[in-house]
Structure 1
Amino acid sequence: MPHGDDGDTKVEQLLAALRGQGIEVDNSPRRLSEYSYDASNYRVRPAAVVFPATVDDLRKVVRECSASGVPITPRGGGTSMAGNAIGQSLVIDLSRGLTTVGEVDGGNASVWVDAGVILGELRSYVEKATGDELTFAPDPSSMTRATIGGSIGNDACGNHSVAYGRMTQHVQELELVTADGAHLHAGRDFLRAADAGEQHSVARASELLAGLKELAQANLAPLRVELGNIPRQVSGYHLGHLLPENGLDIAGALAGSEGTCALVVRAKVGLVPKPRTTALLCLGYANTIDSARDVMTILAAKPSAIEGLDASIVDIMRHRRGAASVDSLPQGKAFVMVEFPGDTMEQAASDCGQLLAKLRADGRVVDHTLVTEPRERAKLWRVREDGAGLSSRRIDGVQTWPGWEDSAVAPERLADYLSELLPLVEKYGYTAFMYGHFGAGCVHMRLDYDLRSDPGREAFENFTREAAALVVAHDGSLSGEHGDGRARSELLDVMYSPSMLDIFRAFKNLWDPAGVLNPGIIVDPEPFAASLALDGAPQPGPAHGEPAAMPGADVVPSSAGRSLLPVVSPFVGNTHACIGVGRCRATAGGFMCPSYRATKDEKDSTRGRARVLQELTRTKGTSHDGWSSPEVREALDLCLSCKACSADCPTGVDIAEAKSQLVDEHYRGKIRPFTHYSIGWLPRWLPLLTRIAPLANVGTSFGPFRWVGEKLGVSARRRLPAFARSGRIERRVREAQFADNADVLLFIDSFTRAFRPEVVPAAARVLRDSGVSVGCTPDACCGLTWISTGQRDGARRRLAKLISRLDDGSDRDIVVLEPSCAVAIRDEGPKMVGGAAAARVAARVRSFSVAVDEAIKRGWKPSAVPPNTAVLQTHCHEHAVFGSGAQKRVLEAWGVPNLVESSSCCGVAGNFGFEAEHFDTSMKVAEHSIVPALDSGAGLVLTDGFSCAMQVSQIDPERSSKHLAIALDPHSARWTEN
């Protein structure tokens, strides 16, 4: 990268040239913050980020960079754990523009796919196109956000690599752009121009082909001896594919080159038959080494997956997701998950049984479970697949990091390697969280390094060098899947001879003689202890006015006895917990992140926002007045405060809390936006508005008033709810017939009282029907709208008052009708108020659906007649804190045969959807899930959340949605289809 004034001038000239050609380029501070990180330990601020829309755009970018000497770092999903997707360069994001999948060639079991296509989306596309006959095999745990180009770049594998191998085995042909802009196609024994009439590309293809043949022929012995010795030898270049016996497979040689030789723009990939069904055998062992010693016996049975994990991962899963998330695992301190495919479940289960009999004879298995039910299998696979994110933080709050997370040995040497690696970990005082592809000898491990202090970084460097020597002593590879990147490239001289390193350098020079592609990776490497993200980062601490520590947290020493780390919520909403795994960029599964799904822009992902906030603490030291920073406001502008990230992010990043804290700090003592007083103080106005409901309802529908509201920030396009008359509210509360000294208490929130009072008696009747007496809590406000608008002192006062009223000395359940209010009491009360009373009250709180689910588990069944079809929209806050399974279980137990789930945020999320500036985004979010669900034509639409109900009425004014209490009310009429 050019440095100094001259370098800055070159970059500015380059960006001007690209913009002049209509190419999207962004060098704003916010964008640079987002792309300074991937999922590794490293931070490198780029010169700019470019988003090519076409291959022609990409060629223009590369030619301009080559001419100016500005280096290039290609990037897909940005999920690299080795630091190979960041650089002091022009970062080219291929995930936004190059996203086309071609027609599936069923006869040849292949498909052409652009580099920016997500692996999981490709798999879904192929399976749908072939009627589940074919699928795309590579399935790394990041497959919901990793791209084809990035996965080829680091030669990704996945859980099923024992059956399907690495990405290399599935790449048949590559479409490339070279460092000088040539447009080529590469495959087995050919390298040709994409356009036979374009002379530069024709000449470059001929030159490269001759050079690659010469390189291979001149180095037959070292290529045969040093490369391809174990299943997961990913470190270095895969030049064994150039050998004559391998057919001069140029596409195979470029797989794993980490963007250092050419840019992949499209790939022809092979497809495999999709198994009809699978059975999962989970084996429990006394320790990890015992589990590794059974790997060869398991491999001989030819399963499709052999995945290992230790008890520490399971303990974290149990702690964060509840005991039910791991209740299908057998007893043990280490586990191996073995999957068998089959045409029938009986066949797959039989294969599991035969293997189990052999393993029992060896005597190391202490327990097992055989799982055939699809939902249970998926639940157990999630334990393994979330390993990287879950293990990023110990139960006591100390963070862990990659760095030695990807070593591999031959499977037969795995146990011996681990028997020396684990004592090395103990020697340095680290705690290891281990999982991996045991059938391929690949070990993934996160360690609680201290990367903030000089002694901690020195220990990290010394440990890594010793670990590298150890894996090489076992004839293993530094990398088995993630690539070398910044984490391991400097250590390649431990693994390979000087002559092999020279061959690597010659290979790189053939493709990229000017060295502009991803410099510092593999060849001429950067020091692996340089550019560490935590070097210079401040220690985390509590925000203004928050309790000094989370309930039950203490100041604890790290495992190595280094510095004392406060186990508190790090700066604004735990944003320092983000490690870049990118689950928030997934376009399906879970609720996170609705704004990213609407825009497909990194700035609107949880990760992008967290990175901007992390940069804020680096530049300003604290969060003080961070909301005034344009990059922070841009990053958080489209955050819906849905809280889904707090549950769906494996590390628990809570951007809603971050936004609330930043807004609170910024506006402290200042005049706020109108919506903070209108929507933010709405519970304060509701008693008055319900007393003048007829007049208020006329006002909210009066055009001039709506126009004025639009100017003040409340969208004129948003349908507004009708206020219930105070007399009607009182009648509905009396109708509930609350009892004194009841078994459970119903909490009537401000929104239910003012807009849906009919829910109150319905809920009381349902709960009584379940066999409990029902009382009512004292009136109180949870402060939810004050929290979402960043008025935390006001929220804290209301929560404290509520807690004092609800802490009545009993342990009776408090059933809250509005899910977001239930979450405010359950989650925000202990965090914002703290103390034993807040914890006691929080433990008693149930959302209505959770209360009904618990009643059903006690043996009760709703007496109302169920509908034939239903649409379910779970409130985001309920999903985040209580989970999204309760309502579904209730509806299934009730007997609804056809249930359509809306699997993401509806788009309103409290005040967000009512704000004029956010209305369009709100409706765009709705298109992802709730609109298709409503289009299914199902009769009953369930929306316990008031904001969700408002979105349904916005999408289809002729269609009403119901609270679960109304649906289950034994006084309800029989449901009919609309």
Structure 2
Amino acid sequence: MENADMPHGDDRDTNLRQLLAGLREQGIEVDDTSRRLSEYSYDASNYRIRPAAVVFPGSVDDVRKVVRACSALEVPTIARGGGTSMAGNAIGEGVVIDLSRRMVSVEGLDAGQATVWADAGVVLSELRSYVEKATNGKLTFAPDPSSMTRATIGGSIGNDACGNHSVAYGRMTQHVKELELVTADGAHLHAGRDFLRAVDATDHHSVVRAGELHEGLKELARANMAPLRVELQKIPRQVSGYHLGHLLPENGVDIAGALAGSEGTCAVVVRAKVALVPKPRTTALLCLGYQDTVESARDVMTILAAKPSAIEGLDASIVDIMRHRRGDASVDSLPKGQAFLMVEFPAETIDQAASDCERLAEKLRADGRTVDHAIVTEPRERAKLWRVREDGAGLSSRRIDGVQTWPGWEDSAVAPERLADYLADLLPLVKKYGYTAFTYGHFGAGCVHMRLDYDLRSDAGRQAFSDFTREAATLVVAHGGSLSGEHGDGRARGELLEVMYSREMLAIFKAFKHLWDPTGILNPGIIVDPEPFSASLALEGVPQPGPDHGELRAVLDAAVVPSSDNRGLLPVVSPFVGNTHACIGVGRCRATTGGFMCPSYRATKDEKDSTRGRARVLQELTRTKGSSQDGWSSPEVREALDLCLSCKACSTDCPTGVDVAEAKSQLVDEHYRGRLRPFTHYSIGWLPRWLPLLTRVSAVANLGTRIGPFRALGELLGVSARRRLPDFAQSARIRRRVREAGFRRNADILVFIDSFTRAFRPEVVPAAARIFRETGNSVGCTPDACCGLTWISTGQRDGARRRLARLIGKLDDGTDRDIVVLEPSCAATIRDEGPKLVGGAAAARVAARVRSFSVAVDEAMQRGWMPKTLPPETAVLQTHCHEHAVFGSGAQKRILEAWGVPNLVESSSCCGVAGNFGFEAEHFDMSMKVAEHSVIPALAKGGSDALVLTDGFSCAMQVSQIDPERSSKHLAIALDPRNARPVD
């Protein structure tokens, strides 16, 4: 809620201009561009508030300067970490301080005391990796929320986060030992158990402020001992409100503990000393199946008595969406049931952990509520099952039918012994309002996460949302519970604190806030003087999105190829760009490990280069302009999408399936319709059109790519002179290789020879044919045609549609024979883009038949075939990002493991070329920066003698760029009997 004493109108604008100018003069990075403000108008909640500016401090001194300046001019200030808040406590008017970009140091690890100091911007998973590496796996950092790969220390302290293992390790509060913080007036303080002092004893202002605050806090606790003891710290997950019970004498007057969970409303946490715990030597997972969620909750107390390290619950809807998005294999280790508990036991040996699981399973089986169970000890299977639970928040944001779900009542908590009764009342309330729910959570701690399909766009829908939320708040309080169990109150629940706490306690909260922040500039509207939870909703005034292009085509199921002039029965100007409206801010794209998304963010660590940042900019485009028309003309859109490699990793790694590559293609297409395009759109974009000519004059073409003046001219026209260019194969050589393949008519398997393989790596064709003949199949060749990939990546969608339509017409031969595509990006285009761009039953039939080469080989090996060649000692694997996006990245790994490669090094991200991106002059430097994240370290780790596998032509080009003396191979060459030593 806005402070009544704050300046308004012109005075505020003047103050803001003075503030930003002053900060820039002091060398602090300030960004108030429209694009940046769009990115920071959202977090992972239902809310949208456009800030005035975003600052990126590089030191504590920078933070002090920012906060002092904001305080002097009464400008609201919001500290932000990873921006993953589901309660709306990482957005607000005024100045947002992003601590995640530069304040990322870890130091002072004390293994004896089991503590470490970390800056507020350090990501939890990165802190964990640092600690485990530094202590040789003896210690770890315990809090593990599902967002731990992008949530920061500062944000997690602000929300008092915990995670899957809170039954063993508790909340962040239990792990915060000391805090270094900056107050609203710029004092630099050090807080801990029974102390609050200036970091620098010569800093007079900080010394005085520390003394005033310390006395004020002790007096606040002395004057209110009874309500603090009666109303606070009653259940394990009582996160709502301030944690003032820590100020009581029996709790050691722990000021750092009292600030945990304060959501940035009292001070800006800049560093924290956190506790570490012994890392379990091993764990086993017991998965229990039940008839329903309430029945599963009734076993929680029995399970707690067995002292496991985790008790996580989820219902069948989470499993169904996981199966739909990730395939049957992602959930095949789960037992039967409509609701599940995942119970983990740590132990010194896996046999002991498994024995603990079996003992508990037997006890529960005797109690009669479980319908099935599974004990999982293999590490890869355990990780797979944990992913079902950990991906719940993101995957459940969208039902199988495409309807989006939202947070709002996603974080309630009760005492574990009350959980079943609470759920027995809550689920009928959900049904009463006509909602469907995805239910999961930390059942061992009594915390319930739930996403609901609210209608937040219409007046009636928002009224129902308001009524339901108030009823739900009354219900959880009736069960002795808390509005929030780990996400904080934020904008989602702050107004409802009056339902949970007495007026006396709310007044104490207000006094606590006032001690720290007398002018109310720190995250105003949160906890104290809260804004209405139905205000600032992001969807208010935003129309309902139509189906994504692919979904719309499935609905139409057009039997004919649409003509280019009506753009395939889709409107020329869409009110939404691609499916970017699906982004809900989960922030998986900000993770630096796991999956391929998002390579440009991993290189820059800038929100604008994340999938989320781009989606938010495009959402603002359609919010402000009503459509995507002329979107590419908008500077903020071009800046947001400039470094998108169109790798498509986001389409699968993003839990909501946002496909920025598709959105970029659409925007470029709309912008250049009827206009002259950049040279690279005609050179690289039309490359398959030029390749037949270039291969006929390959000697001349190859000479031209090496002559300085021609390279310089190419640089001027947009093709990087620094990029190594491939050699064009001679036409005669191509024909010879195709004849060598020995293709037959009416064969069991068809090989599609794409333009890139034909022109640059024709030797792959006969190698692949020989391998498939070894599997017992006859091999044929598809008719010559192009999939239109380069037309798509350069936003020439009509041209791509025509090429795909011709290709589909040739491939739809009335059979169900596998079509094996040697270039993975082309395989992905036919499989994914064919049904979207062309549509109809034929496109669907052809897509179902398409296999990438590695997928086809993997399937052959699963049927019993094995290569008759010796595996290398070490292999470095670079999976093409399009293959990862459409077919998954597991096939090649399974092949190499089954082949017997003893040392496998995986590059776990895009190589940096991604089609035309890495060849463009303006993007060459970023292409190489992306390579530094994964493929360059992988090559170094593998060593000079390793077999380097690059099925993707662009990946092969990047390896040759990194090390011109090093060659990489297509998997077909590696497995070809003619190119490897036979087994004795």
Q: Same fold (TM over 0.5)?
A: yes
Q: Which residue of 2 aligns with 1:962?
A: 969
Distance 1:373 1:870 in 2: 24
Identity %: 83
State whether residues 538 and 617 of structure 1, in contact with CA within 8 Å, keep that contact through their aligned partners in structure 2. no
**Contact residue 115 and residue 264 of structure 1 kept, 8 A:** yes
Q: Within 2, Cα distance between the matches of 1:89 and 1:582? A: 23
Residues 849 and 964 in structure 1, CA contact (< 8 A), matched pair in contact too = yes
**Equivalent AA in structure 2 for residue 944 of structure 1:** D
Q: Name the stretch that deviates more: 489-498 or 98-107.
A: 98-107
Q: 932-941 vs 963-972, which deviates more?
A: 932-941
TM-score by length of 2: 0.97
Matched, 1:268 2:273: yes
Point out the more displaced range, 929-938 or 390-399.
929-938
Map Cα deviations across residues 166-208 of structure 1 (whole Å, 9 max, x no partner). 0000000000100000000000000000001111000000000
* Equivalent residue number for residue 565 of structure 2: none
Specify the code of the residue in structure 2 equivalent to 1:956.
D
How far residue 572 of structure 1 moved from its aligned partner, in angstroms, is 2.5
The alpha carbon displacement at 1:974 in A equals: 2.9
| Compared CA separation, residues 570 and 443, structure 1 to 2 (3 A) | farther
- Residues 63, 510 of structure 1: alpha-carbon distance in 2 compared, 3 angstrom cutoff: same
Query: Which amino acid in 2 is paired with 1:285?
Result: Y
Please say if 1:551 is aligned against 2:517.
no
Distance in 2 (alpha carbons) for counterparts of 1:460 and 1:941: 55
Rounded Cα–Cα distance in structure 1 between residues aligned with 2:8 and 2:72: 16
- Code of the residue aligned with 2:785 in structure 1: it is A
CA distance in 1, matches of 2:715, 2:183: 52
**C-alpha deviations, 1:226-272, integer Å up to 9, x for none?**
00000000000000000010010000000000000000000000000
1:932 aligned onto 2:906: no
- Deviation at residue 103 of structure 1 after TM alignment: 3.2
The reply on whether 1:380 has 2:378 as its aligned counterpart is no
- Equivalent AA in structure 2 for residue 471 of structure 1: V
**1:89 positional shift:** 1.5
Deviations 1:80-123 (A, max 9, x none): 00000000110000001110000310110000110000000000
Q: Could you tell me which residue of structure 2 aligns to residue 884 of structure 1?
A: 889
What residue ranges of structure 2 are gaps of 5+ in the alignment? 558-570
Quickly say closer, same or farther: Cα 1:858–1:840, change in 2 above 3 A. same
For 2:142, the equivalent position in structure 1 comes to 137
- Partner Cα separation in structure 2 for residue 247 and residue 897 of structure 1: 54
User: Is the 8 Å Cα contact of residues 542 and 569 (structure 1) preserved in structure 2?
Assistant: no
Confirm or deny that 1:443 pairs with 2:448. yes
Bigger mean CA offset, 894-903 vs 842-851: 894-903
Map 1:716-865 onto structure 2 (within 5 A). Answer: 716-865=721-870
- Aligned-partner SS, 1:949: helix
Q: Which amino acid aligns with 1:113?
A: A
CA contact (8 A) 2:575 2:626 kept: no
- Report SS of the residue matched to 1:417: helix
SS at match of 1:131: coil
Contact kept, 8 Å, 1:642 with 1:909, in 2: the verdict is yes
Aligned amino acid, residue 97 of structure 1: R
Question: Helix, strand or coil for the counterpart of 2:19?
Answer: helix
Residue identity in the other structure for 1:301? A
Say if 2:317 is the partner of 1:312. Answer: yes
Provide the rounded CA distance (Å) in 1 between the counterparts of 2:362 and 2:256. 43
Offset at 1:975?
9.9
Q: Which residue of 1 aligns with 2:102?
A: 97
- Structure 2 counterpart of 1:66: 71
Question: 1:28-64: CA deviations, max 9, x gaps?
Answer: 0000000000000000000100000000000000000
Deviations 1:755-807 (A, max 9, x none): 00000000000111111110000011000000000000000000011000000
Match of 2:93 among 88, 94, 116: 88
Q: Counterpart in 2 of 1:512? A: 517
Write the letter of the residue equivalent to 1:945.
G
Q: Distance in 2 between matches of 1:346 and 1:550?
A: 52
TM alignment of 1:469-548, pairs within 5 A: 469-541=474-546
* TM-score of the aligned structures, taking structure 1 as reference length: 0.97
Pairwise CA distance, 1:864: 1.7
Q: 1:637 aligns with which of 642, 660, 663?
A: 642
Query: Unpaired segments of 5 or more residues in structure 1?
Result: 555-565
Partner of 1:627: 632
Structure 1 partner of 2:623 = 618
Q: Which amino acid aligns with 1:962?
A: K
CA distance in 2, matches of 1:956, 1:670: 39
- Give the drift of 1:573: 2.4
Higher mean displacement: 3-12 or 938-947 = 3-12
Q: Does residue 158 in structure 1 map to residue 163 in structure 2?
A: yes
* C-alpha displacement of 1:551: 2.0
Matching of residues 119-138 of structure 1 within 5 Å: 119-138=124-143
Say which of 941, 945, 956 aligns to 1:949: 956
Aligned residue type for 2:364: L
How far apart in 1 are the matches of 2:239 and 2:552? 43
Residue 26 (1) aligns with residue 31 (2): yes
On the 8 A contact 1:570/1:576 being kept in 2, the answer is no
CA distance in 2, matches of 1:552, 1:924: 42
**Which of 43, 50, 53 is the equivalent residue of 2:55?**
50
2:560 corresponds to: none
What's the offset of the Cα at 1:282?
0.1
**Please, which of 652, 661, 670 is the counterpart of residue 656 of structure 1?**
661
Q: SS at the partner of 1:308?
A: strand
What CA distance in whole angstroms lies between the structure 1 residues aligned with 2:12 and 2:546?
38
On the 8 A contact 2:574/2:628 being kept in 1, the answer is no
SS at the partner of 2:272? strand
Taking the aligned partners of 1:798 and 1:223, their CA distance within structure 2 comes to 71
Name the amino acid aligned to 1:721: P
* Superposition pairs of residues 160-309 of structure 1, within 5 angstroms: 160-309=165-314
How far apart, CA to CA, are the structure 2 residues paired with 1:208 and 1:303?
41
Separation in structure 2 between the aligned mates of residue 711 and residue 214 of structure 1, nearest angstrom: 71
Look up the equivalent residue of 1:941 and give its one-letter code. V
SS of aligned partner of 2:257: helix
Partner residue of 2:151 out of 125, 146, 151 = 146
Q: For the residues of structure 1 that align with 2:381 and 2:550, how far apart are their CA atoms?
A: 39
Q: How does 1:311-710 map to 2 (within 5 A)?
A: 311-541=316-546, 549-551=552-554, 571-710=576-715
Give the partner amino acid of 1:420: D
Worse-superposed segment, 891-900 or 377-386: 891-900
Cα deviation 1:496-549 (Å, max 9, x = unaligned): 000000000000000000000000000000100000000011332378xx6780
User: Match of 2:28, as an amino acid?
Assistant: I
C-alpha distance in structure 1 between counterparts of 2:631 and 2:889, whole Å: 33
Instruction: Look up the SS of the partner of 1:660 in the other structure.
Output: helix
- The residue matched to 2:579 in structure 1 has which SS? helix
Residues 339 and 548 (structure 1), Cα distance of their counterparts in 2 relative to 1, 3 Å cut:
closer
Would you say the 8 A contact 1:289–1:418 is kept in 2? yes
Moved more, 1-10 or 492-501: 1-10
Asked whether the 8 Å contact 2:160–2:487 carries over to 1, the reply is yes
Taking the aligned partners of 1:455 and 1:955, their CA distance within structure 2 comes to: 58
Contact 1:309 1:436 in 2 (8 A): yes
Distance between the aligned counterparts of 2:684 and 2:8, measured in 1?
50
- Indicate yes or no: 2:929 matched with 1:921: no
How many angstroms apart in 2 are the aligned matches of 1:125 and 1:715?
38
Asked if the contact 1:119–1:146 (Cα under 8 Å) also holds between the matched residues in 2, the reply is: yes
